[in-house]
Structure 1
Amino acid sequence: MRPLLSAAAAAAVLLLLLPLAAGQRLRGFSYQLDCGAASSSTDSRGLRWDPDGPYVSAGSARPLSVQGLLDPALASLRAFPYRTNAKFCYALPVDPNRRYLLRPTFFYGPTSTAPPVFDLIVDGTFWTAVDTADDVLAGSASHYEAVFPARGRNLTFCLGVNPDYTKSGPFINALQVIQLHDSVYNATDFTGSAMGLIARTKFGSTGDVERYPDDSFDRYWQPFPDRKHAVSSTHNVTSADFWNLPPPDVFNTALVAEQNSPLVLQWPPISLQNGSYYVSLYFADTLANSSRTLDVNINDYQFYEGTVTSAGLSVFATQWILSGLTRVILTSKSVLPPLINAGEVFGIFPIGRLTITRDGACYGEYEEKPPKHTR
């Protein structure tokens, strides 16, 4: 299906190089909650994690006896009881004029049975179902991420019991609610929509996940190793020059095609439901004071054609139609081969009615669910 954009997104693909100042700390109404913890702690990156008790009145704290945890926020969880169609809600004071990145983390620990499966609901809107079974087998935590607008002075984040999944109550280890800069993702119409993260990738990287303090909002940029095409550089690209404020280091690795060949990527690496997606790609020439012209196609439809310089470039579409497996094809329009440094893909879904919080636990059926958009 040919990509189509709404009238609200009249500029299907835009270039923005706006001078903006990125904050160096998580500011405003931002929360780092260590669920089930008895006291505050500071992680290796200097971020303070606080107990979740002041924001929820349901559930019980449970320590996890797991050796060698690199993330101290995984050492405890809050478990909620199994009550058919119940919602257990966190109520968090927010600025009603801002948008927020939400990232709950789930780590059930070693288990001989399947972990609970349950729903996430934000301000009355179904976000996604949480199923950590594959990550449990791999011994890793599960992260989900979305961007929601604040719709009042309190944001409610709820875990919903769904009897269609399992017969056990939900749980959570950590919850981040981070206030974003006004420029970040501001091309999306958040009056009626939210965005669920599909992939955020640092192409050519073989290192760890890029996150805070490199990213001011603690967004996770996952490595995408490809030794055949990976190239490193050390250009001083300035994050403040880009409206989405990506960390400068994402421009210091890239995938570069072989001479006279296209660069073909299956990305994101999962099959997508048919729907509208926010797609943002980042480029910077790996050669100092250099430029190259390239053509970018996504599933055989042109996404961008133009010039990339060592100063960096961001190209995005707010409502690009995708379905199934996605191929990104980059071809050269100049002597130098095409390249790509980073990318983000979000699913766009409508927001619904507000949740009414009652003593941290809300009961009753929740509204019909839109198609699932996962981490």
Structure 2
Amino acid sequence: MDALVAGFVYEVSPIFFSSYDHWDKHRGKRFKSDSSPECTTSTTAVSSTTSVLSTDMSPVKDEKELSDYDRALYLLENNPPEQRLDFHLPYSQYLKLEECWAKIKSARNISEDQKYPYLAYNSFAEYVTVVTIPRDLHEIAAWELGIENINGARKYLASNGTNASVASRIVHAGSTTTVGSFGNYARSKKQADGTIKYKRTGATSEVMIAVEVGYSEHYAALCRDKDMWIDGQHVKVCILVCLDESPRFRNPRTRPENIGVVRERRDAMAQAVAETVERDTSRGYFGQIEYQGHKWVGDLKDAFIEVWRAKKRHPVRYQLIQNSWRSNRLPKTVGLKLRDFIPDEDWEAANVVDDSISFDGDLYVHNLRRAMETTADERYMEYISR
């Protein structure tokens, strides 16, 4: 079971992860509720063959014996890294799942500020989503996209002599949980991977731009997320970042050898990986990261950004990586305008001229390559620490 429940992140930069508590202190604990039969199913092991899990090391149980509800509870209770589960569930059943998760959190004294795992619901499509703790590749893809565009907006405002108060109202909020929406999405609950907000006078703020990041196999689910932000929350823009890691990571089948101290082994791995990444980065290559005969990150075969807007049937796509190589035409903007950062009702009062916002595509893909390196480190560290 250790390979399944090791869902912690360690020694990562606080600029990306300062806002959530990790699960290492809860590892191995189980919770059983007498009040809800669904809660007792969360102690079930999940087969390593299911698409929900990415590990080769797990107790064997036929996945046909497990319902999606069971899998959702397992992921919520154990928080194995890098998992996303989407499945159809009526709202009444979702409320039971949410109640059970609330009991688990209460029994373990898990703070409401802990962002992962998170449970979301799309009341229009009647879809439940469970997302467990991600790695750097996912988090940095969202964070850097938001930061780059906010920096572009602030540089534009500064170059046009705009009052600094306008720039200070445009804030990067990171991941944000939103409850309640418009129309058929009124009973939805969603956490974006990244958001850009506009802070109005007083304490109120409004999400203007939402960012969702995922792997290629989750593209349809990302599009449902996009619809919920645009139609349910009326954001001006939703940006999807789609990554294709191939092959997807799987834990080694063998147990780590009990030799040396963890710090020494990690340092040796980091040095070897850094040399590979440095060489490949200079060539614009996003190949796999291998160490001691195992792939800790697969090729980043493709990566693209899609920018979706309300009332637009098709997005504008910006290709970043193709066939594991950096695109020859990296974007200098992803099509955002200054007006996208400011609510329509506040636009006139802002008294600024609208124009395109710059985006450093070269820096962004460079950060993706570095995130592959730190993701390999995270995966290796978890493996040797078991």
Q: Work out whether the TM-score is over 0.5.
A: no
* More strand, by proportion: 1
* More helix, by proportion: 2
Q: What's the TM-score once normalised by structure 1's chain length?
A: 0.26
Q: What's the TM-score once normalised by structure 2's chain length?
A: 0.25
